[in-house]
Amino acid sequence: MLRSLVGSEMCIRDSIETIGDTDEEHKRGSGALKTTGRMGEVMKESSQIAHTYARTFLKETEKQNGFLDTAQLHMHIPEGATPKDGPSAGVTMTTSLLSLALKKPVAADLAMTGELTLTGKVLPVGGIKEKTIAAKRSGVERIVIPEANRRDFDELPDFVKDGIEVHYASQYQDVYDLAFGVNSKVL
C-alpha cells in the first residue's frame, strides 16, 4: 500500500496475478496492467503512463530486471464510491509499481503527489493545501510535491505546514531517491 495525496488519503494497491507456480511460467506473462476501482478516464490514463514509465525507468536502473515486462499486474484504487478523475497520482502509481518490481518497500512515513510524463517530468497538481492537511491527518511527516508547486506550499499558513517535511520533485528520479532511500542517479 502506498499513500497518495489527493485531498484525502488514497491508497494504491498493486498485486501480481499468478500465472503459474514456477518462475518459468511467470516469465511467460504479458507485462499487462489491469486497473480497477472508481477511476475516471484521466486516472486510467495516469496508470497507463505510470506503467510505461516504470518499465522504462526499471530498464535504465536495473537492466536485468524484466519483471514489469512479464508480470501481469493488477492496480486497484480502493476509494469507495467517489470516482477519482484528477491527474495527481502518476508518481505514486509509478512508485508502487517499482516497489513491487524491486521487492523494496517504500518509506512508510512518506506520501506523494504529482503527475508524470512519459519522460519522467513531474507536473504540477492542484489542491496542495488539502493534500498537505490530508497528510497531517494520516500521520505522514514527509511529503513529495512537484517543484512547480513550491510557491503553493510556501503560501500555506504555518499551522498547515508545521510538522511536515516537504521535498520537491522536478523529475521522477527525485521521487525515487526519497521513496527508496537511495542517492544514485539514473545512468
Q: Which residues does the annotation mark as catalytic? A: 88, 131
Q: Are 147 and 169 in contact (CB under 8 A)?
A: yes
Residues 150, 40: Cα–Cα separation, whole Å: 27
Distance, CA of 13 to CA of 11 (rounded, Å): 6
Q: Which residues contact 146 (CB under 8 A, 6 or more apart)?
A: 113, 114, 115, 122, 123, 124, 125, 168, 169, 170
Strands (E) in 133-172, as ranges, are 142-146, 165-169
Q: Taken in order 104, 162, 5, 124, is the CA torsion positive or negative?
A: negative
Q: Rounded to 10 degrees, what is the CA torsion of 11, 16, 108, 146?
A: -60
